[in-house]
Amino acid sequence: VTYGSVIKLQHDRTKYRLHSHDVPYGSGSGQQSITCYSGHDSNSYWIVRPKGRSSFRQGDVIADGAVIRLQHMRTRKWLHSHLLQSPISGNLEVSGFGGDDDSDTGDNWKLEIDGKANVWLRDQKVRLLHLDTNGYLHSHDKKYNRIVPGQQEVCGVRKKSSDSLWLAAEGVYYPATKIKASSA
């Protein structure tokens, strides 16, 4: 997985994919909702970007411990979190926020590779730790009944678990150009 790659991030246990569309939450922040979806459509594609003002470029590999941002390909919103409660479980809300020229620290996620690899590989289990809230990107079997019926809630939780494991599945992967010494 390299910067600039367009991926579907798959929840390891349920096999649902990280998903978003221009549907706001009816509570909490009112920002764009983030779910996990079992189907295959273009609303599950995310562009892997470095944190703002970074020297990393398209095609650079992503090291364990790197701080990344994920931008929703269709709506251009950033995967975001904050201290508001998620709609179903009451954990940390994860939302879509901002746009191409509108990003803040709430969009920064630290990559934690599960295993011994030192760079992010396709089909490799990873965790994403939200830096502002110290919550792991998480999903579970709890599903919405209205607005996005059958889609799983995505939230942040402060403890590592098997429900905070993800992997890069389908996508367009840029070939690796180089490995940089710094990961953050």
Residue at 179 is within a domain: no
Instruction: In whole angstroms, give the CA distance from residue 25 to residue 27.
Output: 5
Phi-psi region of 88 (alpha: psi -120 to 50; beta: other; left: phi over 0): alpha
Residue at 180 is within a domain: no
pLDDT of residue 182: 46
Range of the domain at 134: 2-172
pLDDT over 60 at 183, yes or no: no
pLDDT of residue 184: 47
Residue at 52 is within a domain: yes
Residue at 60 is within a domain: yes
pLDDT of residue 53: 81
Residue at 177 is within a domain: no
Q: Residue 132 maps to which CATH number? A: 2.80.10.50
Residue at 148 is within a domain: yes
What average pLDDT does this structure show over 24-38? Answer: 95
Residue at 139 is within a domain: yes
Cβ–Cβ < 8 Å for 21, 43: yes
Number of domains in the chain: 1
Residue at 125 is within a domain: yes
Whether pTM exceeds 0.75: yes
Q: Which residues touch 84 (CB under 8 Å, ≥6 apart)? A: 28, 29, 92, 93
